[in-house]
């Protein structure tokens, strides 16, 4: 087992490897964009080389490539873009991505984004047309924030960079706080800052003449045709595409490693990695000395099966106390996914071992049907098949009048209530803000500034976006935005940047994603078998134990540890006491959260204590944010 060296360091907020910050001022604006250039240059926090460019109309600081537009202006792109158009791909190979972006814009205008793949964020400033276009990749591997006014647009690939470009003081948005408690992060297109927005995955922003349009430039097409190709033919295609997706992600230089939880995705990536770099592959795993949380045994099985060197580290409660303040404040927006902490220690272990790039397995569950909630929703769909007359006229009334003391009465009532709730609303039945009234959690003056219906409105709009398809495919697509783009990718990418390593996502390869859309829903989940097609396709190659195991991941046993480790409990309680003074969460509810964690479900209410603790730590680290 490798021991963690004590080389932790405080980094600036919003640290990212690929950075773009810009400001555009429309003709006649009283402010010169160039006046913000020095502040923007200082705000870029990337280990990559940064270039700057400015005129009276715009200022730009970027770690990506840049190219001047023929008619006036500039294009910049950062990340690892790929161009579907062969002519543009040839330009990118010889002159760089920004040159291809500029040429594509001049040929196709905003149609260029339909020809872009890979991972990227980009900006096109067309001074002749008084127009700015901003875009991010199809799966949201990169971010883009923006602040739009009548005569100026400020933007950045991280929130603090965009705020620097605005000249405005950061102000906390009550809706952003509400959304954070609801989702444990702040999903796009909103942010926690007043006037600041961020692009959802596969969207571009069109700013012209002071007007703003946000456009979804790509949406997947799912197929449920089981007659298109045989199961065996698709299985062979899957194995080929998995191998090519890992190969596409391997850098030309520098030591490479891989996250390994022991689950399907990380084991697949490690297995392909070991075959492509025989004798050179190494993996990094995190364990927990807590019953029900440790998956190190499965990581060891995978490593042994593929002959890969396994580097292990066990996260302790002491690690949480030491690292949590740094991690919580390092994010530009409050971020409450507790597995960020083990992801950080895993990336940090790899960095100390000389790794420059980590392969991450995120995405497979969301493309091939691996999350338990998908299976659970099928249980409720059975009830919808009962004739409506029987449901509404007999079963519902009968269950509702059953005395609560009767065996299984409460479970029957809960089942009926959830079955009668449509998707995607039903997936939020365990949300804190569906178990507790908003008026119990937030003060009245906060709620007056909040649209409590907004989270469900957002979820419904995403869920309904794909063309007619199955409820499973709609849930998958919803998770592409909420679970991946706004949550897991933010978690892993930021923690890797904080630790000082780059990260790539083979499971997000465009061709692999397109292939997943061809797999029929009936094959993705068969009966009670999650990821049926995926597992059947890799039987005999992946270890049998990996195929059979249930999903777990890098979940942190915070709630359990907090009960037994006093310094961790003190860290949480001290910060919750400070949170009481801010007027954003009712003090009585904070007390109730502590009591529920102590007397009821430690893991469930431990998560509530966690997100509130992280929020207070984040507020302390962003004390310049005005709450009014």
pLDDT given at position 552: 59
Summarize pLDDT for 329-347 with one digit per residue, the tens. Answer: 999 999 999 999 999 999 9
- CA-closest candidate to residue 282, choices 181, 189, 350, 361: 350
pLDDT given at position 140: 97
pLDDT given at position 393: 76
Question: What's the pTM?
Answer: 0.92
pLDDT given at position 405: 66
- CA-closest candidate to residue 41, choices 33, 32, 31, 51: 51
> In the chain, count of helices (H) and strands (E)?
29, 17
- CA-closest candidate to residue 62, choices 94, 12, 97: 97
- CA-closest candidate to residue 614, choices 316, 345, 317, 334: 334
Four-CA torsion 86, 91, 92, 97, nearest 10 degrees: -120
Residue 370: pLDDT above 90? yes
pLDDT given at position 554: 55
pLDDT given at position 626: 55
pLDDT given at position 30: 66
C-alpha 83/C-alpha 100 separation (Å) is 8
Residue 1: pLDDT above 50? no
- CA-closest candidate to residue 337, choices 508, 172, 558, 158: 558
pLDDT given at position 6: 31
Band of the pLDDT at 12, cuts 50, 70, 90?
A: very low
> Which has more pLDDT, 612 or 594?
612
pLDDT given at position 123: 98
DSSP letter assigned to residue 289:
S
Summarize pLDDT for 553-607 with one digit per residue, the tens. Answer: 556 888 888 888 999 999 999 999 999 999 999 999 999 988 888 777 667 788 8
Band of the pLDDT at 226, cuts 50, 70, 90?
A: confident
- CA-closest candidate to residue 269, choices 356, 349, 360, 141: 360
pLDDT given at position 551: 66
> Which has more pLDDT, 150 or 153?
153
Identify the weakest region by mean pLDDT among 197-201, 229-233, 420-424, 584-588: 420-424
Residue bearing tokens 């127009």: 131
DSSP letter assigned to residue 169:
P
Token pair of 224, please? 């449920």
C-alpha 628/C-alpha 620 separation (Å) is 16
pLDDT given at position 624: 59
Band of the pLDDT at 425, cuts 50, 70, 90?
A: very high
C-alpha 8/C-alpha 245 separation (Å) is 33
20-216, what's its fold? 3.60.20
Summarize pLDDT for 432-465 with one digit per residue, the tens. Answer: 898 899 999 999 999 999 999 999 999 999 999 9
CA 501 to chain centre: 18
- Mean residue pLDDT of the chain comes to 90
Band of the pLDDT at 159, cuts 50, 70, 90?
A: very high
pLDDT given at position 246: 98
| 192, 186 contact by CB (below 8 A) | yes
- What is the phi-psi region of residue 504: left when phi exceeds 0, alpha when psi lies from -120 to 50, beta otherwise? beta
| 124, 147 contact by CB (below 8 A) | no
List, in order, residues 6 or more apart from 112 with CB less than 8 Å away: 101, 104, 105
Residue 623: pLDDT above 80? no
- What is the phi-psi region of residue 96: left when phi exceeds 0, alpha when psi lies from -120 to 50, beta otherwise? left
- CA-closest candidate to residue 346, choices 262, 276, 426, 425: 262
> Which has more pLDDT, 390 or 348?
348
- CA-closest candidate to residue 136, choices 200, 51, 210, 219: 200
Domain ranges across the chain: 20-216, 372-436+447-464, 558-621
pLDDT given at position 394: 77
Residue 219: pLDDT above 50? yes
> Which has more pLDDT, 3 or 160?
160
Residue 2: pLDDT above 50? no
Q: What HEC string does 185-254 produce?
A: CCCCCCCCECCCEECCCCEEEEEECCEEEEEECCCCCCCCCCCCCCHHHHHHHHHHHHHHHHHHHCCCCC
| 219, 478 contact by CB (below 8 A) | no
pLDDT given at position 14: 38
Residue 143: pLDDT above 90? yes
The Cβ of residue 223 has, within 10 Å, a number of other Cβ atoms equal to: 13
Band of the pLDDT at 251, cuts 50, 70, 90?
A: very high
Token pair of 563, please? 């009960």
Residue 313: pLDDT above 60? yes
C-alpha 84/C-alpha 88 separation (Å) is 8
> Which has more pLDDT, 551 or 93?
93
> Which has more pLDDT, 599 or 175?
175
Token pair of 176, please? 């952003």
| 249, 506 contact by CB (below 8 A) | yes
- The average pLDDT across 398-427 equals 78
Residue 42: pLDDT above 70? yes
> Which has more pLDDT, 482 or 164?
482
> Which has more pLDDT, 551 or 608?
608
- Three-class DSSP category at 63: coil
pLDDT given at position 553: 53
């Amino acid at each position: 087992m490798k021991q963690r060296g004590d080389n932790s360091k405080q980094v600036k907020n919003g640290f990212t490897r690929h950075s773009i910050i810009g400001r555009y001022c429309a003709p006649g604006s009283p402010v010169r964009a160039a006046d913000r250039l020095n502040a923007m240059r200082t705000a870029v926090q990337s280990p990559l080389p940064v270039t700057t460019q400015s005129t009276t109309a715009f200022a730009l600081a970027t770690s990506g490539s840049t190219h001047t537009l023929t008619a006036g202006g500039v294009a910049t792109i950062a990340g690892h873009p790929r161009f579907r158009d062969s002519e543009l791909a040839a330009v990118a190979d010889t002159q760089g991505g920004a040159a291809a972006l500029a040429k594509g814009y001049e040929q196709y205008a905003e149609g260029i984004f339909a020809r872009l793949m890979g991972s990227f964020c980009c900006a096109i400033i067309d001074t002749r047309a008084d127009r700015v276009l901003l875009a991010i990749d199809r799966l949201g591997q990169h971010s883009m924030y923006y602040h739009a006014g009548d005569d100026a647009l400020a933007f950045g690939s991280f929130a603090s960079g965009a705020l620097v470009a605005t000249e405005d003081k950061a102000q906390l948005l009550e809706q952003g706080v509400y959304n954070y408690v609801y989702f444990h992060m702040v999903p796009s297109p909103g942010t926690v800052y007043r006037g600041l927005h961020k692009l959802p995955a596969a969207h571009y922003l069109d700013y012209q003449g002071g007007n703003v349009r946000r456009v979804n430039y790509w949406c997947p097409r799912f197929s449920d045709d089981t007659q298109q190709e045989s199961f065996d033919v698709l299985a062979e295609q899957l194995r080929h595409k998995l191998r090519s997706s890992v190969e596409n992600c391997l850098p030309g230089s520098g030591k490479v490693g891989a996250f390994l939880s022991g689950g399907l995705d990380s084991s697949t990536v490690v297995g392909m990695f070991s075959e492509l770099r025989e004798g050179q592959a190494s993996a990094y795993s995190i364990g927990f000395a807590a019953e029900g949380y440790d998956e190190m045994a499965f990581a060891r099985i995978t490593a042994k099966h593929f002959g890969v060197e396994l580097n292990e580290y066990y996260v302790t409660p002491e690690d949480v106390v030491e690292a949590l303040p740094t991690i919580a404040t390092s994010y530009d927006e409050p971020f409450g996914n507790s597995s960020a902490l083990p992801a950080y220690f895993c990336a940090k272990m790899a960095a100390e071992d000389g790794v420059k790039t980590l392969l991450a397995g995120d995405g497979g569950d969301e493309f091939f049907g691996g999350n338990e909630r998908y299976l659970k929703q099928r249980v409720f769909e059975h009830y919808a098949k009962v004739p409506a007359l029987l449901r509404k006229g007999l079963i519902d009334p009968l269950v509702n009048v059953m005395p609560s003391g009767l065996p299984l009465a409460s479970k029957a009532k809960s089942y009926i209530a959830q079955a009668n709730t449509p998707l995607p609303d039903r997936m939020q039945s365990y949300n804190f803000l569906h178990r507790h009234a908003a008026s119990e959690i937030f003060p009245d003056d906060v709620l007056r500034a909040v649209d409590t219906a907004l989270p469900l409105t957002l979820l419904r709009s995403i869920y309904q976006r794909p063309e007619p398809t199955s409820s499973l495919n709609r849930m998958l697509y919803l998770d592409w935005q909420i679970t991946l783009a706004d949550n897991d990718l933010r978690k892993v990418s930021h923690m890797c940047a904080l630790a000082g390593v780059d990260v790539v996502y083979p499971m997000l390869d465009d061709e692999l994603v397109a292939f997943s859309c061809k797999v029929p829903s009936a094959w993705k989940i068969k009966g009670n078998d999650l990821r049926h097609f995926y597992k059947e396709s890799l039987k005999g190659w992946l270890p049998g134990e990996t195929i059979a195991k249930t999903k777990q991941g890098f979940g942190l046993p915070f709630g359990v540890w907090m009960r037994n480790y006093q310094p961790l409990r003190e860290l949480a309680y001290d910060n919750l006491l400070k949170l009481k003074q801010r007027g954003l969460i009712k003090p009585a509810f904070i007390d109730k959260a502590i009591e529920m964690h102590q007397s009821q479900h430690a893991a469930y209410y431990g998560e509530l204590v966690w997100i509130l603790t992280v929020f207070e730590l984040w507020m302390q680290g962003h004390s310049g944010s005005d709450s009014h």
